[in-house]
Chain A
Amino acid sequence: MKTVSLGQYYPAASPLHRLDARMKVCLSILFIVCTFLAKNICAFAALVAAMLILVALSRIPLRLILRAVRPVLFIMVFTAVVNLFVTKGENLLFSWWKLQIFREGIYNASFMLVRIITLVVGSSLLLTYTTTPIQLTDAIESLLSPLRVFRLPVHEFAMMMTIALRFIPLLSEETAKIMNAQRARGVDFSVGGPVRRVQSLVPILIPLFVSSFRRADELATAMECRCYRGGKGRTKMTIPHLHARDGVALVLLLLFGTGIVLLNRYGYGYTMTR
Chain B
Amino acid sequence: MSESFIHVKDLVAAYEENGVNVPVLRGISLDIEKGEYVAVLGHNGSGKSTLAKLLNGILAPDAGELFVAGHDLSNPEIDEDEIYALRREVGMVFQNPDNQLVATIVEEDVAFGPENLGVPSAEIRERVDRALALVGMSDYAAADTNCLSGGQKQRVAIAGLIAMSPSLMICDEATAMLDPIGRREVIETLENLNRDQGVTVVMITHYMNEAARADRVIVLDDGKILADGTPREIFSQPEMLRAAGLDVPQCTALTHALRARGIDLPGEPLSEEECAEIVCRAWRERWTK
Contact = CB atoms under 8 A, between A and B. Distances in A.
Interface of A: 2-4, 133-134, 162-163, 165-166, 169-170, 215, 218-219, 221-229, 233-239
Q: Which 5 pairs of residues, A with B, have the shortest CB-CB distance?
A: A222-B100, A237-B111, A218-B99, A237-B124, A227-B116
B113 interface: yes
B102 to A, nearest CB: 6
Please classify the interface of chain B as helix (H, G, I), strand (E, B), loop, or mixed, using the class held by over half of its residues: helix
Contacts of A218: 94, 96, 99-100
B145 interface: yes
Interface centre among A3, A165, A219 (most CB of B within 10 A): A219
Contacts of B103: 134, 162, 166
A235 B84 contact: no
B147 interface: yes
Nearest to A5: B144
A227 B88 contact: yes
A218 B93 CA distance: 11
A166 B87 contact: no
A60 B34 CA distance: 56
B92 to A, nearest CB: 5
A134 B104 contact: yes
Given A226-B112, A235-B121, 12 more contacts: A133-B104, A162-B104, A169-B146, A170-B98, A170-B146, A225-B58, A227-B84, A227-B113, A233-B118, A234-B115, A235-B118, A237-B111
Interface residues of B, number: 39
Interface centre among B84, B99, B103, by most A CB within 10 Å?
B99
A249 to B, nearest CB: 24
A165 B109 CA distance: 13
B124 A226 contact: no
A233 B147 CA distance: 31
A237 B121 contact: yes
Contacts of A234: 115-116, 118
Nearest to B125: A237
Contacts of B241: none
Contacts of B160: 226
B56 interface: yes
A226 B101 CA distance: 10
Interface in B124-170: 124-125, 128, 145-147, 160-161, 164
Nearest to A163: B102
16 contacts: A134-B103, A134-B104, A166-B104, A170-B146, A215-B96, A219-B102, A221-B94, A223-B102, A224-B58, A225-B92, A226-B112, A227-B88, A235-B121, A236-B121, A237-B125, A238-B125
